[in-house]
Copies of this chain bind each other. A is one copy, B any other.
């Protein structure tokens, strides 16, 4: 929060890809515009022709698509510091929408400025490839989650993912966190109904895996929660995960 938006962007890229000082300066020199938007605002809608790429500075957002029948699937949750819109840097029509979960500050960077930067500085291109590959890895895990896990594991899994990603950005601890989603949104993220999400949440609480007051989730048994979630953080490709991944095997 105490960093400028471009410093957050830089830190994110650097956390998995080395960048030179020149690369650093080029990123910090990027033109951008800050905006504060209310919860529920759309950053981009499916079918839009994008003109900017966004960085989420504060607040939360989610990607979503709708089926022809009108039901919604949430595809990922964006947390502060995420570059929301690499898709929009190079794809000409947005294939999904991004909507704000909370009142947020976003930084808009003109599409061309980022395109030029990537063409001028291959190391930044590599960092962008890295980021998009990690995003794809998370999407693969979501396909598994929704396709092959039961309701309880799905909910537990999304809670684990959220906690670990927030912790990696120092926005939460394994103690617990403030979940910025309604149970309906949780349902749309896990391919369930809100009613069932409520029951599963109560079940997790009854079994002592979590405790909650409103949207605040506390992990009363992090180990057991990971186990029922079938959660292994390897797919997040976070720096320093290797020893953990090995230890977990």
In the bound complex, how far is the Cα of B95 from the Cα of A139, in angstroms?
11
- Asked if B139 and A191 sit within 8 Å, CB to CB, the answer is no
In the bound complex, how far is the Cα of B136 from the Cα of A86, in angstroms?
11
Query: Which of these, B95, B147, B237, contacts A235 with CB under 8 Å?
Result: B95
In the bound complex, how far is the Cα of B148 from the Cα of A142, in angstroms?
13
Q: With A90-B130, A122-B118 in contact, is A147–B190 under 8 Å at CB? A: yes
Copies of the chain in the assembly: 2
Query: Which of these, B63, B92, B93, B125, contacts A126 with CB under 8 Å?
Result: B125
Q: With A91-B134, A136-B132, A245-B93 in contact, is A67–B119 under 8 Å at CB? A: no
Contact residues of A between 116 and 171, Cβ < 8 Å to B: 118-123, 125-126, 128-130, 132-137, 139-144, 146-149, 153
- Asked if B245 and A95 sit within 8 Å, CB to CB, the answer is no
Q: Is the interface of A mostly helix, strand, loop or mixed?
A: helix
Q: Which 5 A-B pairs rank lowest in CB-CB distance, beginning with the nearest?
A: A147-B191, A125-B125, A139-B139, A68-B230, A146-B147
Interface residues of A (CB under 8 A from B): 17, 47, 63, 65, 67-69, 71-73, 75, 86-87, 89-93, 95-96, 115, 118-123, 125-126, 128-130, 132-137, 139-144, 146-149, 153, 190-191, 230, 234-235, 237, 242, 245, 249
